[in-house]
Amino acid sequence: MADNSCKACRGNYQITNSQMERLLKTSAFAPELRVNEEQYHERLRLCETCPKLLDKTTCGVCGCIIPVVAWLKERSCPLPGGSLWGSVK
């Protein structure tokens, strides 16, 4: 039987600090593709206010893992009716 719980509710989707450090060293998260640390923390802060945030890590709208995608300039908040943060050019 398939596990139909949200990603955040399953332990294997909890990202650790060491996993995040490794991820940030990959080409997908090259410095030119990332927002600066201040913008990153602001995005996290805004997500914490969202009623669609699941278990402090997962977006209930798109299913993304917030601590990961919040680093990416090209990403924006998918909240219907009003994005909490936008992409950065």
Instruction: Note whether residue 1 is domain-resident.
Output: no
Instruction: Note whether residue 18 is domain-resident.
Output: no
Instruction: Note whether residue 70 is domain-resident.
Output: yes
Instruction: Note whether residue 58 is domain-resident.
Output: yes
Nearest residue to 43 via CA among 76, 13, 16, 18: 76
Instruction: Note whether residue 48 is domain-resident.
Output: yes
Instruction: Note whether residue 73 is domain-resident.
Output: yes
Q: Which residue has the tokens 């995608």?
A: 69
pLDDT digits (tens, 9 = 90+) for 4-46: 555 555 555 678 889 989 999 999 999 999 999 999 999 999 9
Instruction: Note whether residue 61 is domain-resident.
Output: yes
What proportions of the chain, in percent to the nearest 5, are helix, strand and coil?
40, 10, 50
- Measure the CA–CA gap between 35 and 25, rounded to whole angstroms: 14
Per the prediction, the chain carries an average pLDDT of 87
As beta bridge partners, residue 65 has: 58
Give the total number of structural domains in the chain.
1
Instruction: Note whether residue 69 is domain-resident.
Output: yes
Range of the domain at 66: 37-79+85-89
pLDDT digits (tens, 9 = 90+) for 43-86: 999 999 999 998 888 999 998 999 999 999 999 999 999 899 99
What is the reported pTM?
A: 0.82
Give the pLDDT of residue 61: 94
